[in-house]
Structure 1
Amino acid sequence: MELELRHLRTVRAIADAGSLTRAATALGLAQPALSAQLKRIERALGGALFERGRHGVRATALGELVLERTRVVLPAVTELQREAARFARTPRRTADRFRLGGTHGPLLGALVDRLADVAPDAQVTTCTSWSERELADLLVEGRIDFALVGVCGSAAPPGAEHLVWREIATDPVFVMVPDGHPLARRREVELTELADEEWACVPGDGCFGDCFSAACARAGFTPRRMYETDTASLAHLVQVGRAVGLCRATFPATPGITTRPLSGTPLTWRHLLGWHPAARQPDTAATVLALARGAHAGAAARSDSYADWLAARGAPPFHNAAQRVV
């Protein structure tokens, strides 16, 4: 019998389960069938892989050697399968097509607009998701070419071990209040002044919610309620006075809403562009990154509150200080 990958997976399952009975259940096999298969594998490898005892099985010296190799071989084969699938799904004439993924926000539309200017004959498609991890998976699988996402503070981007990520810009997180709110006339707002408010923000699968709760705890209070909803509903909740909202400083001007910085900048948001290193030529990725940074600068230029915040800190207008590898 020639050794196959399924045999290595069987050995791995037995070791992980710690007994033939539990391994058979996990593999959907009868225990006698699994025992017979293990004997065939052991004959192919030249010796016993497990010692059986009252409390289950324990790997022999030969079994430890085989298990050590499976820890290298099985992940490598899995990665090969993913790479092959990604390669098969990636259009070979990549210069004629841009498949963009992004979380909901103004930057994705602005990037599409700029791509249409520089590559008028290219086909541009978009895919949106609340989940940064889902977009990273789509990049790894070759289903999209670029992902425009955001992460809280210094958090690591999703799928960093497989993907290239470049920072577009870092924004402070602002608070959104109705125009008639008493704090709307302030240049900056202390987080403690909002202790009695209800809150609203857009959902995500990163650490932003935890970071916000931690910032509130440092300010001495626990948020009363947090509504997680789409951007349009968030704006409505703020407009009618149901909640105050959290947003990036580049949030576009909206009737009935005033955005104000939080004193001390307790929360920040990093905009990132990601791609798979094998999917794009470096000059194409550099072009898209430059366009994304231009899209952010354009969004920042339309925000008076962001301009005031930068000016108060002596920063150049719409300066993008962070453009590093992450």
Structure 2
Amino acid sequence: MRLDIRHVRVLVEIASAGSIRKAAGVLHVAQPALAAQLQRIENVLGGAVFTRARSGITPTELGRYVIGSGRDLLARFDRLLADTASASGPVVFGVMSVLDAGTGLRLLRTAMPGADIALHDVNSVPDALAMVRRGELDLVLFYEFPGSRLPLPDGVLRRVVTEVEPAFVGLPADHPHACLDALPLEALASERWIIGGDADGAGREARFRSLCGRSGFSPRIRHRVDTCESMFQLVRSGEGIALFSPMCVPPADVVLRPLAGEPHYKSTVLCWRVDSPVDLHVDEFHRLLVADYQGEIGLRAHYRDWWVANVGDVVESSSPRPVPCVI
């Protein structure tokens, strides 16, 4: 293993936190994984960076030198990146219109301190990738459904933020199936459906129709609307049942239930130009996006239960925020 700037940040964060447990929470990684990474760093350095005790950790002589020098290095490195980004003009960050652009912008500013960042709303995946190809966007955050992935332009890289976000079905609380923990899709064959529009080119409706076909029916899609507020109103008034993002928090008279078996799901994807200043910050931005998403899962009991059963542990957070709900 070769040490790089990320490992220096890890050592500085552990020293600032005073314990591996606290640093793991700040870095949004599991404590055993952080302890193992620290061990690998110490092996490369050839000695212990910290002494461990029940009361916490303290830097060794080697650690004081490495951490002190590391703080200076990080400050100079961050200034260099900020100056480079400013000299080359604003970083233009594209976000699919129903994603949480405000949080994305905040996290990108955290990953690129001092950078000039401009937000740009995008309405479809094809438009977003075309804008990246033309150099109008430095990076873009969007979602896609299985079978709809488009080829990337030359010089553009891709990283998945959320591999699987399942669709939850919104039902009136007095619906006969509201008492089920998970809904077999075939049990909903006679229902009228409310789904999001398909103008974004993400492949939503094609994916949904494909899953319904596998369950032996063609869905009766009654309404296509693009806001969770409209969907809730339609569900509450008996116009049909709807597909929602599990990030949605329903009103008291609507329940959200996951689909049983293979979920109708989407992925959230980050794409960026390798010749953009943002390329140097993608690792940190991606880490922040994943950690933020995990924290939001932990605040929604219905989604947290699904995630733990199907994916793994989640990182708890403390303050929920409103997020777009349409899937």
1:127 is matched by which residue type in structure 2? H
Q: Is the 8 A contact 1:132 1:158 kept in 2?
A: no
User: How many corresponding residue pairs?
Assistant: 228
**Take 1:267 and 1:302, find their aligned partners in 2: how far apart are those partners?**
22
Does structure 1 residue 216 correspond to structure 2 residue 212? Answer: yes
Q: Is the 8 A contact 1:111 1:291 kept in 2?
A: no
Greater CA deviation, 106-115 or 198-207?
Answer: 106-115
In structure 2, the partner of 1:277 is 274
In structure 2, the partner of 1:201 is 195
1:81-127 CA-to-partner distances (Å, cap 9, x unmatched) read xxxxxxxxxx9527984422222335433222334555565444322
How does the TM-score come out when normalised to structure 2?
A: 0.61
**Take 1:201 and 1:158, find their aligned partners in 2: how far apart are those partners?**
26
Q: Is the 8 A contact 1:107 1:296 kept in 2?
A: no
Q: Is the 8 A contact 1:202 1:228 kept in 2?
A: yes
RMSD of equivalent CA atoms = 2.8
In structure 1, the partner of 2:180 is 186
SS in structure 1 opposite 2:177? helix
Alignment of 1:216-235 (within 5 A): 216-231=212-227, 232-235=229-232
SS in structure 2 opposite 1:271? strand
- Which of these residues, 90, 113, 119, is aligned with residue 126 of structure 1? 119
Alignment of 1:1-326 (within 5 A): 93=86, 97-117=90-110, 121-153=114-146, 155-157=148-150, 159-169=152-162, 170-203=164-197, 204-231=200-227, 232-249=229-246, 251-255=247-251, 256-313=253-310, 315-317=312-314
Distance 1:129 1:309, change over 3 A: same
Give the Å deviation of 1:206.
2.8
2:161 is matched by which residue type in structure 1? I
Give the Å deviation of 1:130.
3.2
Matched-pair identity in %:
22
**Take 2:153 and 2:238, find their aligned partners in 1: how far apart are those partners?**
40
SS in structure 1 opposite 2:216? coil
**Take 2:133 and 2:312, find their aligned partners in 1: how far apart are those partners?**
37
SS in structure 1 opposite 2:178? helix
SS in structure 1 opposite 2:293? helix
Give the Å deviation of 1:172.
1.7
Q: Is the 8 A contact 2:91 2:278 kept in 1?
A: no
**Take 2:288 and 2:93, find their aligned partners in 1: how far apart are those partners?**
13
Give the Å deviation of 1:278.
1.4
Question: Unpaired segments of 5 or more residues in structure 1?
Answer: 1-90, 320-326
Question: Unpaired segments of 5 or more residues in structure 2?
Answer: 1-83, 317-327
